[in-house]
Structure 1
Amino acid sequence: MNTITSIGSPLAYNQFLLQQEFYNVFMKKFPELKYLDMKSIKHQIFYFPEARIRLESLCELKCDTSIDSSYFYGLVQLCQYIQRLIVVNSDPNDYHGIAELIRVQKNLKYFEWKDDHDFYISGSDSYGEILLALEKNASTINHLNIYFMFINNRTLQKVLPKLLKLKTLVTSFVRFNEEQLKMCIYRDLEVFKIDYYELKAASIIIENSGGRIKKIFLESSYEFDDFIDNFNDDSLNFIRKVYENCLSIESLSLVLPSSKQHFNEVENLLKKCKNLKSLLLAIYMNAYVRPEEKLLLENGKELLKIINKSTPTNLREIRFLYDVKFSLETLEEFFKKWKGQHKLSILTCQPIYREQNYVILINKYRNNGVIKDFRYESFDNVVNMDFKI
């Protein structure tokens, strides 16, 4: 829009008038409006003559908090049946307008909030208005994706347990104690995303779910630090909770140390979770001392042995991170034993697999139909479980 109007006139006021006329024509020509991205709109379109008829049908709204609250107040009267609401918090000053818009909704199913600023928010309840407005929609919200940069209130602990109909949950439980976590029971949960350092919280949520979870993603950068308390025990318990409570799991990311006990539990998981299609394995040994090459190769050999031994019938994709490496001999042995199974894709962010000897071996078994692909990808692509091969 800005590009089009700038061609007509370089003057800001003239561009403003051109934009206003465009939106006015837009409102007259289209019988109903289903999707609106407010981030680039500077006009209060709810004042246009046809606004009520057009905006009453709005199903999805994208906006950011830099928009003046008066704009949201104008939408409150017209848009009460929004189903998807996505908010980028770029200006954390006044949430009254957006909170009121959330509160009046009658069929809100998907809500997403992302902090995108570097300002520290003072006060004891900075997100309280937003969370309490969400609570009013507890009977309809199925999908919740909220990222709060500064959690300095207790409203989140009060509201999340009341959103009982969630099918998708993406958030942090870093401020929750064990008692509060056990109150978060989501029997319809299907997609669950949480930071990798919250394994204990994730285990509790999974244990109290209804057994319908299909996707579990451990998010963040996977930049491990020694401050993670009880990492070994929590990661072991997490694996067990998955195969005990999530037999329908299709996509999963695991973070674990390279112990025999952890590897045995991975094998148990592969044998029990028959629907698993995509698996990310992040193996972590020591944050400050680089493991010896021998240990990395042993990890790789053991993991491929487990995968071959368990022969998961639906597994189509495996991603490897960090302290794991495959020798040419180990890789070829795995390919030979995998022959006759379904084609498998393997992703890694280690550049060694672009070396000529590895490329020749991988191409051989790709051309023979044993594997679909074995690719070196960027770290971001490997950890992004939505990235498709």
Structure 2
Amino acid sequence: MSKLNKDILFLIFEELQDNSKYLFSCLMVNRIWCETVIPILWRNPWRYYAINYCKKNSLYSIITSYLSNDIKEFLSKKGIKISGQSLAFDYLSFCRSINIKIIDDIISIGSSSEYNRFLLQEEIYSFLIKKCPEIKYLNMRGTYEIVYSPEAKARLESLCELTCDTLIDPRYFYRLAHICQQIQGIVIINNNLNANHGTIKLIEFQKNLKYFEWVDDFTEFTEDYDYFDWEKLEDPYTEIFDILKNHANTLIHFEISLYFDYNYSTNYDYTFLQYALLELQNLKILEINSPRFLDIDDFNEKLEMVTYRDLEIIEIDVIDIYQVTCIIKNSLYLKELRINDFHWNDNIIDGSLNFINTICDNCFLIEYLSIPVFPLLENHFIEFERLLKKCQNLRSLNFKDACYEKGEALEFGDYLSNVLIREASTNLINIGIPYFDIEFSLETLEKFFEKWKGRPAVSLYFDNTYFYRKDNSYMKLFDKYKIEGVIKDINA
């Protein structure tokens, strides 16, 4: 391994670029490994969340080493700690990323004085924008003046990914919109009660937007829901989501987290999200945390006509089962369907049966599936067993609470254990069980584990552990089959 040439090593290390622990260990092998890893680590050195940047004196030393001698002397006289070490590599020549918040954390090592930190920021951001050959990734949650640096246009016009918040003065967004028009990924943290129209221009000017993420973050204003003044929140959404429709041809990742109170979710009108979704038919990844989509006849009729052929991942907190069935009806490449809560407008019998049937007919590549606990009826048995036979890639099966009369939980547990043994692929290794809707007698579980022997170990997740702690018999059973390698994990 240590004799591999640089090209091969580079390809291997590229695959490890998200794992700082492995890359840092590679630095210590020999000089060739070190020379190969350094450009990968320093392409975006602020991305490694396991690092406590505000305590990384080594990074502070590297950054301040680039300051000119005159500037070092000036700052030292102000009481700011400055490194005098020489560098083994020209680290910043590899850098393609600026993360304002993290760099500010590193700068804080130099002095506790706010004024001194301001002086450091001025100097460091000035040479950073000059030294980095081109900026591909920019997180500008903090100091925004960087976009008005004389070198900003040359360095930022090739920007690929931007993270920002809505507290930024709209003028900086206007400036960015004119400099950067090839941004492929935009993450917007909405932490402003006032609508920021600069974000609209930024999105409007992009020519190849593929990734869009919007996160409402009003924690500063929401210590108590009862005292949050919703009337002060301007509507930043309608114009934003109308503009996003113009990027329907290129947008493939759509991730939305909207702020709302579950206790008052029926008071929200977030139809702008519903109708925007109708236009975004080239999506591969759809993640939504919002109030449940309203049951509007016009929207439902249009949703029936929409085709999402490229969807691979769907993650939605709560959605009507009829609506999600419409979304997946032509999603032949769907691999993950994660629904936290299914809502029912149709009766549970038809809604759950149509859902299972749609999975069977269209989503046979599915690997992770959320499914409601369905009624114990023959038609449902037939379709669910057909699902297990057709979906041979299924790795995780997670049942969700259902809305029908209780009383069949043990019967459902007995049915489920038998059908999984008989029909499930050996790829299935994770099973999630909701409390009350599905229960297992001790005898049923022991029979299930005995017949599971010879397959990959299974992980079982129960939403509530009370039932399984009623006596030690269940825990003893779980411990026994853990030792025998039948169970990998269990949260009971």
Kindly name which structure, 1 or 2, has the bigger radius of gyration based on alpha carbons.
2
Q: What's the secondary structure of 1:211's corresponding residue?
A: coil
User: Separation in 1 of the partners of 2:302 and 2:473?
Assistant: 53
CA distance, structure 2, for counterparts of residue 153 and residue 334 of structure 1 = 45
Contact preservation (8 Å) 2:325, 2:355: yes
Distance 1:328 1:247 in 2: 33
Report what 1:381 is aligned to: none
**Does residue 36 of the first structure (1) align with residue 138 of the second (2)?**
yes
| Offset at residue 167 of structure 1 (A) | 1.0
Spell out, residue by residue over 1:204-259, the C-alpha distance to the aligned partner (whole angstroms, 9 max, x if none).
Answer: 1112x241111111135x7x8xx856344322321221112111111110123453
Aligned twin of 1:47? 148
Q: Distance in 2 between matches of 1:157 and 1:320?
A: 30
Aligned to 1:201: 323
The alignment status of 1:330 with 2:444, answered yes or no, reads yes
User: Runs of 5+ in structure 2 lacking a partner?
Assistant: 1-102, 219-227, 261-267
Partner of residue 119, structure 2: 17
Of 269, 273, 286, the match for 2:391: 273
2:294 corresponds to which of 158, 166, 174? 174
Shift of residue 104, structure 1, vs aligned partner: 1.0
Residue number in structure 1 paired with 2:175: 74
TM-fit CA distance, 1:123: 10
* Cα distance in 2 for residues equivalent to 1:341 and 1:154: 46
1:218 corresponds to which residue? 339
Unpaired segments of 5 or more residues in structure 1? 378-389
Q: 1:206 to 1:340 in 2, by over 3 A?
A: same
Aligned twin of 1:244:
361
Shift in Å at residue 285 of structure 1?
Answer: 5.6
**Aligned pair 1:131/2:252, yes or no?**
no
Separation in 1, partners of 2:361, 2:138: 43
- Which structure shows the bigger proportion of residues in helix conformation? 2
The corresponding residue for 2:34 is none
Q: Does the 8 Å CA contact 2:287/2:315 hold for their aligned counterparts? A: yes
- Check whether the contact 1:170–1:194 (CA below 8 A) recurs between aligned residues: yes
Distance 2:215 2:382 in 1: 38
**Structural mapping, 1:139-158, within 5 Å:** 139-149=249-259, 152=269, 155-156=272-273, 158=275
State whether structure 2 residue 355 is matched by structure 1 residue 233: no
Quote the sequence identity (%). 42
Within-5 A mapping of 1:253-292:
253-261=370-378, 262-284=380-402
Aligned position for 1:58 = 159
Aligned partner (choices 457, 463, 473) of residue 357 of structure 1: 473
Displacement of 1:96 in angstroms is 1.3
Cα distance between partner residues in 1 of 2:143 and 2:348: 49
Cα distance in structure 2, aligned partners of 1:137 and 1:124: 24
Quick one: distance in 1 between partners of 2:347 and 2:158? Answer: 51
Report the CA distance between 1:330 and its aligned residue.
Answer: 1.4
Contact 1:258–1:285, Cα closer than 8 Å, also in 2: no
Structure 1 partner of 2:491: 376
**Equivalent residue of 2:183, what SS?**
coil
Structure 2 CA distance for aligned equivalents of residues 350 and 154 of structure 1 = 34
Structure 1's 136 and 196: CA in aligned 2 closer, same or farther, altered over 3 A? Answer: closer
Q: How far apart are the structure 2 equivalents of 1:15 and 1:187?
A: 51
Change in 2 beyond 3 A, CA 1:195/1:11: closer
1:16–1:228 distance in 2 versus 1, CA, 3 Å: farther
In 1, are the aligned partners of 2:395 and 2:427 still within 8 Å (CA)? yes
For 1:307 and 1:64, the matched residues in 2 are separated by 47
Cα gap change, 1:286/1:139 in structure 2, threshold over 3 Å: closer, same or farther?
closer
1:201: how far off? 0.5
Secondary structure of the structure 2 residue equivalent to 1:85: strand
Higher relative contact order (CA 8 A, sep 6+): 1
1:92/1:235 CA distance change after superposition, 3 Å:
farther
Cα deviations by residue, 1:65-102 (Å, 9 ceiling, x for unpaired): 12221121121122211111111222142231111111
Aligned-residue CA RMSD in angstroms? 2.9
Structure 1 match to 2:263: none
Instruction: Give 1:116 deviation, angstroms.
Output: 2.7
Structure 1 residue 126: deviation in Å?
4.9
TM-score (ref. length: structure 2) = 0.67
